[in-house]
Amino acid sequence: MQRTLTIIKPDGVKKNIIGEVISRFERNGLRIAALKKIKLSKDGAKGFYIVHKERPFYESLTDFMSEGPIVVMVIEGENAIYRVREIMGATNPADAQIGTIRKDFADDIERNIVHGSDKPESAAFEIPYFFSQIEIL
Ligand code: CMP
């Protein structure tokens, strides 16, 4: 059993597809172990994406991630990190496979609807960024 941190980003919340996104994970046999709707501050977004601080898109990405509410979730299942990433599709929707969340809903490489931890080490940082142990069930 593996856990991954997944976010429905401000563009996904604005498009009113929270239920649609969650359904895709559930239909694929994954389980929502924790969930909440919050709004990140600019500093909160910068802290979450600290690994990207040297990237040219860091400022723009953290502006975007703090522009409106997001839904943060812990998703659980066998091989959950890989499976969530498959259901989301490639970071750039132009490269994403048909039937993935990003292909169906994302506008561009930055406003790409969802985030999922890319590896176990990332999940180990990202899950406690939003959830305490007693919130994960
Ligand atoms: P995510 O999976 O949340 O991980 C980092 C995020 O940075 C990514 O999704 C995109 O939202 C954004 N991102 C990645 N590459 C680029 C890029 N080349 N230009 C702008 N934003 C990017």
The boundaries of the domain holding residue 60 are: 2-135
| 120 CA to centre of ligand 1 in angstroms | 19
Count how many domains the chain has: 1
Q: Which of 87, 96, 115, 130 is catalytic?
A: 115
In angstroms, the Cα distances linking 32 to 10, 21, 59, 60, 83 are 19, 12, 30, 29, 14
- pTM here? 0.97
Digit-by-digit pLDDT tens for the chain (137 residues) are 999 999 999 999 999 999 999 999 999 999 999 999 999 999 999 999 999 999 999 999 999 999 999 999 999 999 999 999 999 999 999 999 999 999 999 999 999 999 999 999 999 999 999 999 999 99
CATH number at residue 130: 3.30.70.141
